[in-house]
Chains A and B, each alone.
Chain A
């Protein structure tokens, strides 16, 4: 295939949606960095290259190049930075998981391929993101069902005190991960239709201009669903994430700061309620505040947070080098605490680079929202960007003790099939939204 940078002339009519160069070289860069990280892990740990480096490298490169080609063909005018950024995050995550646990890495490799397939599949099925706008309530209902699925007796599974797993036959997954994608799509569609209605009317309360009571029903419903998730699934992270996304999208759609205000009040009320009602919420707060207290540092939970801090602090500015630290001593290192494991071996330079990659992804999403001219497209792009940004903040903030820890995955990076696949679907939706509809008759991708 020819280098897109020198191939063909502009295809689109708007400059912003014209073909943008650089996708291939960025994808190759992601492959090189991810495969090198994998090789460095084995080199740092055992002083020699991994035996299956060539096999791993070629499968990895083939998967990424296939996804890249799919983007060129199925979404030719897409933002070329999106896929390589998400792919690099997933590749780095894989290398670190391989460093922590070889068996988990084998599973994660499979999930990575499934994720790439889901990425391509989404681009294939969703030829125009506005298709999704037609199924508002179907998608919303599906999202709600996924959200509450773990509560259903018989199929819901409780792991580490939180009930966020579902097992149907041999298949186990975390429904909140695909659920969050559906919720964002539903909200984009629903709010695009109802935004003018929800923005109308004013009730004055002192200095505040609030929406009238009848418009608060959806907000209260979302609040109730979040509390339900908190109470019945004890999934702090998902509960927080859902509600925050809802409030953020409601505010973006209506332009009414009053919703933000009421949302904050409801959040505070929910948090206070959770704190009063649940030992485990109180414990999380206590752990957050006292993780390093000498009397508590060896206790369950406290030690976990402390170990994460120790790992990052010992890593320091440049880290111990891949394969040369002891991140396996951090509890839940491959999932919740993968950021700390990266901090130990790659240092501040590594964690800062990781955060920058997320920031690139989020910023591209918001820029896309500004470029889109239709309310649905705007809300979809902004909502997906918000999900990635907020989820990253919740887990990195939790691990670094900015906020109490709520178990949730670091998008693309953490071990976990549901999360990885869901995030690749989000990535595909962003790619699709940035490219615009695929013409009915396939156009030659390389012009």
Chain B
């Protein structure tokens, strides 16, 4: 009998071992997968909002872009954005109903304390029975520059991106119209749903960032890239090009005309690349594009970070970034004339201010394009630096010689060309205007892509004002966008602006 009792005892122990195995599977090994089941949303949410989510700070380490506030509700912490709508395009929102966007989404691991580096801290909080605390993000954003960009853009639809060309650090990122992330971060789901429906019903799409999410024809600001390709192909700034009033395009009835139908350089028989750039001569750049061919032009655009099709992925950024588009060369095989239009930033060419700020940065930085970044430092809840995210080069789209030549050409645009409205006393500003047609009868988009000081660049700024902004169909990049860039440059260099 004892043998059977012993065996029965062992059998019971074996049954318990099965239970131990299953419980450890459910609670430890497969716990995250099981807990992520959509039917477990409520429990997940309560756990999520029990965390004292980390702050998001500006570069000064004092200006709070996002923080957590303790409440009395079932969800313990509520997300707050003390600056209102100003930094929405950077922080994104954190909503109990619609999830997260922006830095709130991409750095969720750190903000929520889930990142492995935070384990010692969260373990300490756990043992002491304190709410778990997340890490703090310090961004590269300069509040003064951000405020200047917001003020200069005013209520015109558009976007401004300013970055430090030496480090890729984004100093300002403004999109208009925008939204107040506080409206979506309330703990009242009905309030959140109402705000969400209102924002989504708005035809101006305030939830989408015109700085990073949307794409627009870059117009003449794309001549930066066409000129870069020409310089890289061995055509110097003084290379001479025929100067007809308009460009007769082969195989079509179409002609390529200059802005307002004018004849560049007062109708002189020939024109140099530098001259054509200064006055933004469409006809010349159409010729250049056709001479270079689709391969060279596409490769140059792609080297700056453009892609052959809309999408993200080539240029890593801290929040979603829709890179510029330059079509695959095969698109021009049957229809050569379209290449002339692509060369002046029309046809299927598209970009946004962050993409164009990267182009300006690469030129400003001697040909080296830095990876754009928003987050420079991650601090643990005690304020100790957990991780520093330093500058890193992303690519080298052009040689230093090309960069220097482009810089000189851009300076001439501001000094005596289409971009004189960007002039700042005591500072050499380099820039390129763009006035992009985007549909019959629609007022054009006004662009300005720039950096300063030209001899030692510390800031690159790209501006787009949609549908002509306050000037409507009369608008040009030089009139509408250049003054905005000027104000942002002044703020970044800490010199007084001249008032927009």
State the A residues within 8 Å of B (CB): 195, 248, 251-253, 255, 292, 294, 297-298, 303, 306, 309-318, 320-321, 324-326, 329, 343-344, 347-348, 351-352, 355, 358-359, 362-363, 366-367, 369-370, 375, 378-379, 382, 385-386, 389-390, 392-393, 396-397, 400-402
Contacts and interface: CB of A to CB of B under 8 A. Distances in A.
Contact of A313 (B1, B4, B34, B50): B34
A195 B4 CA distance: 13
Interface of B is mostly: helix
Nearest to B10: A366
Contacts of B47: 314, 320
A294 B36 CA distance: 12
B393 interface: no
Given A298-B39, A312-B23, A318 B8 contact: no
B23 A352 contact: yes
A298 B18 CA distance: 28
B43 A311 contact: yes
B389 interface: no
B495 interface: no
Nearest to B27: A348
Nearest to B126: A318
A368 B28 CA distance: 35
The 10 A-B residue pairs whose C-beta atoms are closest, nearest first, are: A366-B9, A313-B34, A348-B27, A310-B40, A389-B12, A313-B35, A252-B4, A313-B31, A297-B39, A400-B22
B3 A255 contact: yes
B126 to A, nearest CB: 6
A96 B137 CA distance: 39
A251 B3 CA distance: 11
A359 B11 CA distance: 12
Contact of A402 (B19, B35, B126): B19
Given A252-B5, A317-B27, A310 B19 contact: no
Nearest to A401: B22
Given A248-B8, A385-B12, A397-B18, 11 more contacts: A251-B4, A311-B43, A314-B47, A317-B28, A343-B26, A348-B23, A378-B1, A385-B9, A386-B8, A392-B16, A402-B22
9 contacts: A248-B8, A309-B34, A316-B28, A347-B27, A359-B13, A363-B13, A369-B9, A378-B5, A389-B15
Contacts of A400: 19, 22-23, 26
B20 interface: yes
B129 A370 contact: no
Contacts of B4: 251-253, 255
A396 B19 contact: yes
A260 to B, nearest CB: 9
B12 A313 contact: no
Contact of A297 (B33, B37, B126, B129): B37
A427 B39 CA distance: 40
Interface of A is mostly: helix
Nearest to A375: B1
A312 B129 CA distance: 20
B233 interface: no
A306 B24 CA distance: 16
B75 to A, nearest CB: 11
A397 B39 contact: no
Contact of A312 (B18, B27, B32, B46): B27
Contact of A343 (B13, B23, B42, B129): B23
A314 B35 contact: yes
Given A252-B5, A348-B27, A314 B43 contact: yes
A252 B28 CA distance: 37
A324 B27 CA distance: 17
B1 A316 contact: no
Contacts of B2: 370, 378
A299 B9 CA distance: 39
A393 B19 contact: yes
A310 B35 contact: yes
A310 B5 contact: no
A370 B126 CA distance: 44
Given A314-B43, A326-B46, A366 B23 contact: no
Q: Which of B42, B44, B47 has the most CB of A within 10 A?
A: B47
Contact of B15 (A297, A325, A378, A393): A393
Contacts of B5: 252, 366, 369-370, 378, 382
B38 interface: yes
A30 B82 CA distance: 50
Contacts of A344: 43
B384 interface: no
Given A313-B34, A315-B27, A362 B12 contact: yes
B6 interface: yes
Contacts of A392: 16, 19
A382 B22 contact: no
A392 B20 CA distance: 12
B26 A253 contact: no
Interface string B116-133: 000000000010010000
A321 B130 CA distance: 11
B429 to A, nearest CB: 57
